[in-house]
Amino acid sequence: TAITPTSEPADAQAAANAAQVSVFSENGTTYFYNPDESLSSQLSTGVISGGSILLPNWSAYSGTPSQIVAMKVRSTAPSAIQENEVKMELLTRQMICHTAADPEAYPDLPSEVDNFTGLCPLEPPAASPLHKSSTFGYVTTVYKAVNIKTGQHMCLRRIHGYRLVNTKCMGLVDQWKKMAHSNLVTLRQVFTSKSFGDHSMVFVYDFYPGSETLMARHFSNPSQLAASLLDPFNGDGSRPYTQTKNNLLRQQAAALSNTGLLPESLIWNYIIQLTSALRYIHGAGLACRTLDPTKILILGKNRLLVNCGGIFDVLTYDPNSSNPMAAMAVYQQEDLVSLGRIVLALSCNSFIAIQRENLQQSMELVTSNYSTDLRNLIMYLLTNPQRVKSVNDLMPMIGARFYTALDTCIQRTDTLEMELQRDIESARMFRLLTKLGTVVDRTELNMDTAWAETGDRYMLKLFRDYMFHQVMEDGRPFLDMAHVITNLNRLDAGIPDKVCLMSRDEQNVLVVSYSELKNCLEQSYGEVLAAATAKPKHQGLS
């Protein structure tokens, strides 16, 4: 009977209570409580305050908004997966934060490097320990690690065997550290270290757990291409023309036959994010210089993050250059060519597509499968090398697709807000149960060994029994999370409704209101708190 909505009450407060019970039974769970004092002051917005509208003195999860429900209906995936997708992704990220390196597999891993501990490699070990990064020309390793001072998980990119000879380049590092953009992994710190047993240079970046590279997401499918053909960004061009040509043809055929080409909307979404990052970087007078599929991260469904900014500025720093910033203009132009190659490769779903000898055929593929805008964008970036280009010139080709990207982003915001609204209340429930546990069954307080079994505590104890130990008519346990939640909410709100509590020997029945129980809890917890914060009692003489 505690769960069934009671009959229509007369007064307004009870009407509000009845309403929440009814919402509860429709949605499975509902929560209500006394808001913090600071909350009510926010209520001026959109609601008539004063006499004619009753503000609740509790708060509750108000169910899934209809626009979110409609959003789910629109998508095709099963609703159970839809429901959990966001949380699963977040839980996965948390778990990745807590992975650890097996000490047996990595016996040489230092326990601390500068301010960092808990190092764990993020990429599979290279085939040979001397394998150099095709991007940077040095042996490199990427770790996740915990900053000892802040407790934050960070990403460490170590350049092996690099001796910094000139610290002037740190000016550029400082510029990179000031960069903050939602499509850029921010550089936080650069230091040299001998902790690895060599001279290493370490670049510390924000860590995005669960992210993978653009290369891994789109160009590492074994059914797509052999790994040996996947590296034209560092291409030596020594492979026979016919072999790559045949591969390209074969792949194009396969892609088209099962419509394996990427949807144009996804490619544009990537373009918007990459140009957003480039525009920001170039606007700051810097150049990315690592716009490479192996140095672009994808987080979740399609959030892109440009990675490794600043590393080249240190590694290739020329102390003899009279004006180190002059070279930036050249690097910025190179960024735009890299962008063009990435877009072309995505559009052909192949990295062979961007080899010089395949360009014409690749462009034909783009022309026949995608919009003129996409074709024009690639043409602008990859042809006419003498013309000075700007990322700003790409905006008219993107056009209304900006609106689509924004709409998608706002929808995700709505979904996240809804999930958060649901979970906010659990924290409150947990705190309330903790408070109750602190008070009930305490062996003594202020030398009073009967404290737990008398007065307020006795009622609270019986209330706890009532919450957790319900039985059915025939004595079987009655397990119902909703019963627990409803009663905790009523306790927290302190509503005037009454509840029957039975003593453990079933000899006595106490009828008590939730508001009395709330007083009991506050009084008793107050006593415990006062005792806890009292001056320490010295034992012996004092």
Which residues between 75 and 94 bind a second copy (CB under 8 A)? 86-94
Q: Of 5, 9, 110, 121, which one interacts with a second copy (CB under 8 A)?
A: 121
To the nearest whole angstrom, how small is the minimum distance from the Cβ of residue 416 to a second copy? Answer: 4
The angle formed by the CA atoms of residues 416, 408 and 412, to the nearest 5 degrees, is: 5
Residue 477 engages a second copy in binding (rule: CB under 8 A): yes
Question: Distance between CA atoms of 311 and 172, rounded to whole angstroms?
Answer: 10
Q: Which of 313, 419, 456, 492 touches a second copy by CB under 8 A? A: 419
Q: State the minimum distance, in angstroms, from the CB of residue 250 to a second copy.
A: 28
Residues numbered 278-307 forming contacts with a second copy, rule: CB under 8 A = 279-280, 303
- Facing residues of 113 across strands? 116
Options 107, 151, 240, 385; binder of a second copy; rule CB under 8 A? 151
Q: Which of residues 310-369 bind a second copy (CB under 8 A)?
A: none
The answer to whether the beta carbons of residues 297 and 185 sit under 8 Å apart is: yes
Three-state DSSP at 195 gives coil
Contact criterion met (CB below 8 Å) for 375 and 348: no
Binding mask 512-541 for a second copy (x = CB under 8 A): ----------------xx-xx-x-xxxx--
- The set of residues, in sequence order, having a beta carbon less than 8 Å from that of 514 and lying 6+ positions away, is 490, 491, 493, 494, 495, 496, 497, 498, 499
Shortest spacing between CB 521 and a second copy, in angstroms: 13
196: nearest Cα among 139, 256, 248: 139
- State yes or no: residue 126 binds a second copy (CB under 8 A): no
Asked if residue 467 binds a second copy (CB under 8 A), the reply is: yes
Contact present, 268 and 401 (Cβ < 8 Å)? yes
Do 232 and 339 contact (CB within 8 A), yes or no? no
Measured distance CA(69)–CA(75) in Å, rounded: 10
Q: Which residues contact 387 (CB under 8 A, 6 or more apart)?
A: none
The distance of Cα 208 from the centroid of its chain, to the nearest Å, equals 8
As a whole number of angstroms, the distance between CA 362 and CA 377 comes to 14
Nearer to a second copy, 139 or 154 (CB): 154
Of residues 362 and 435, the one with the C-beta less far from a second copy: 435
Task: Determine which residue in the list 113, 122, 201, 495 makes contact with a second copy, applying CB under 8 A.
Answer: 122
Amino acid in position 293: P
58: contact with a second copy by CB under 8 A: yes
Is the Cβ of residue 60 or residue 382 nearer to a second copy in the bound state?
A: 60
Nearest distance, CB of residue 75 and a second copy, angstroms: 11
- Residue 202 near a second copy by CB under 8 A: no
DSSP secondary structure code for residue 153 in this structure: E
Q: Which residue has the tokens 């921010």?
A: 186
Binds a second copy by CB under 8 A, chosen from 75, 77, 79, 123: 123
Binding pattern for the stretch 164-183 against a second copy, x by CB under 8 A and - elsewhere: ----------------xxxx
239 binds a second copy (CB under 8 A): no
